[in-house]
Amino acid sequence: MATLCRPAISVPEHVITLDQTLELARRLHAGHPQLALALRLIANTGVRTRHLVQPVEATLDHPGFTARNALYEAEAKARVPETVRRALEHAGLGPEDIDMIVYVSCTGFMMPSLTAWLINTMGFRPQTRQLPIAQLGCAAGGAAVNRAHDFCTAYPQGNVLIVSCEFCSLCYQPTDLAVGNLLSNGLFGDAVAAAVVRGEGGRGVRLEHNGSHLVPGTEGWISYAVRDTGFHFMLDKRVPGTMAQLAPAMTDLGRDRDWDVAGLDFYIVHAGGPRILDDLGAHLRLPGAMFRYSRATLTERGNIASAVVFDALDRFFADGGADDEARGLIAGFGPGITAEIALGSWTDGHARPEALTLRGLAASHV
């Protein structure tokens, strides 16, 4: 059965604090009629620090979509490989053991996908399947886990590498002055994450069930307007209330498989903001501590889009994981409004050493 192994996370070296964010908002938008509201919303996000691929001054400059996207590609190629290597080490595998790469990102565009570059430069086999996912936003982390699970269900000895590369700061639009955009300027951060789903062996979350749910009539609530200046993030004020629809969908998914979603041992969920976590806890009647890993990600790194679930999961691993067979949930939420939900159990099984993998042995005799 497929196992999601420990992720690897990397964040850029440039840091912006909440105090710096609030001061920038006051200075850049001094005459904004809703500045007080925007400042209050930013302060209430719970975000204390965020990491950026550029210094703050460069982030605030907009050289045009062409330059922004070129920077996205350059930064991805500079930062992703080391993160991938660590994720492979966590899983006890090498590039030659990977059968599919799922690449998720909503903050830049490349064609061919970065998957092709990774295969050409990092020793992955030419036969490695590629699955880029670009338009699920923050839900893509959960979707990547679920598509990897699906692949390993179809190919039980297969292994899947997931890569999430999110440079949200490259979507900053200085001319967008709606309150929702001002809020996003103080909420989103940058990060790269990678994780391996092993078809056999491995320590981590043994994936057992997955599902997806779209809230009807909400496709315009989280979206991009694609303009000459790039991606313009659109956020509806009704988004924080969507747990009223998504929590029952999660409960139904569990009930259909004889799982009590409100009675699990661990929860790794996308932290889009504190209200998402508060409302989910209220609907499932769970104490706030059950979402402590997601809250820590939000506090220290902000909303890092599809990478949130992997950062929170890494914190869970760092905390020792769970008892063998403990049950848990992984969920990402994003445009649609869409939820991607996985149910799984903790396993302390040990990954095979890389030298003993079938492909490793075969390669040694070529």
pLDDT of residue 272: 83
The CATH architecture of the domain made up of 3-198 is: 3-Layer(aba) Sandwich (3.40)
CA angle in degrees (0–180, nearest 5) for 310-252-221: 60
Q: Which residue has the higher pLDDT, 54 or 361?
A: 54
Across-strand partners of 194? 8, 163
What would the mean pLDDT of 126-136 be, rounded to a whole number? 96
Residue 351 has pLDDT above 60, yes or no: no
Q: Which three-class secondary structure string do you get for 261-326?
A: HHHCCEEEECCCCHHHHHHHHHHHCCCHHHHHHHHHHHHHHCECHHHHHHHHHHHHHHCCCCCCCC
What would the mean pLDDT of 97-114 be, rounded to a whole number? 96
Q: Please give the positions annotated as active site.
A: 138
Q: What is the mean pLDDT of the chain?
A: 91
**Exposed e or buried b for every residue in 296-316, given b needs 16+ CB within 10 A?**
ebbbbbbbbbbbbbbbbbbbb
pLDDT band at 350 (very low <50, low <70, confident <90, very high): low
* pTM for this prediction: 0.91
User: 196-209 pLDDT, tens per residue?
Assistant: 999 999 999 999 99
- In angstroms and rounded to an integer, the radius of gyration of the C-alpha atoms of the chain is 20
pLDDT of residue 291: 96
The CATH architecture of the domain made up of 204-347 is: 3-Layer(aba) Sandwich (3.40)
CA–CA dist 274, 297 (Å, integer): 11
- Kindly give the pairing relationship between strand 204-218 and strand 14-17: unpaired
Residue 222 has pLDDT above 50, yes or no: yes
pLDDT of residue 364: 34
User: 164-203 pLDDT, tens per residue?
Assistant: 999 999 999 888 888 877 888 888 999 999 999 999 999 9
Most confident stretch, 6-15, 19-28, 342-351 = 6-15
CA–CA dist 258, 267 (Å, integer): 17
What would the mean pLDDT of 24-31 be, rounded to a whole number? 90
Domain boundaries, the chain: 3-198, 204-347
Residue 306 has pLDDT above 90, yes or no: yes
Q: Which residue has the higher pLDDT, 273 or 340?
A: 340
What would the mean pLDDT of 260-268 be, rounded to a whole number? 96
Residue 247 has pLDDT above 70, yes or no: yes
Q: Which residue has the higher pLDDT, 273 or 292?
A: 292
What percent of the chain clears pLDDT 90, i.e. is strictly above it? 77
Q: Which residue has the higher pLDDT, 240 or 86?
A: 86
pLDDT band at 236 (very low <50, low <70, confident <90, very high): confident
Residue 38 has pLDDT above 60, yes or no: yes
Q: Which residue has the higher pLDDT, 272 or 160?
A: 160
DSSP one-letter string for 69-116? HHHHHHHHHHHHHHHHHHHHHHHT--GGG--EEEEE-SS---SS-HHH
Q: What would the two tokens of residue 120 be?
A: 């050409």
Residue 353 has pLDDT above 50, yes or no: no
pLDDT of residue 362: 37
Cα 107 → chain centroid: 12
What would the mean pLDDT of 97-121 be, rounded to a whole number? 97
> Would 3-198 and 204-347 be classified into the same CATH topology?
yes
Q: Within 156-273, where are the H helices?
A: 179-185, 243-256
Task: Classify residue 317 by burial, with Cβ atoms within 10 Å: 0-12, 13-18, 19+.
Answer: middle
What percent of the chain clears pLDDT 70, i.e. is strictly above it? 95
Q: How many other CB atoms are there within 10 angstroms of residue 236's CB atom? A: 15
Q: How many CA atoms lie within 13 A of 354 on its CB side?
A: 14
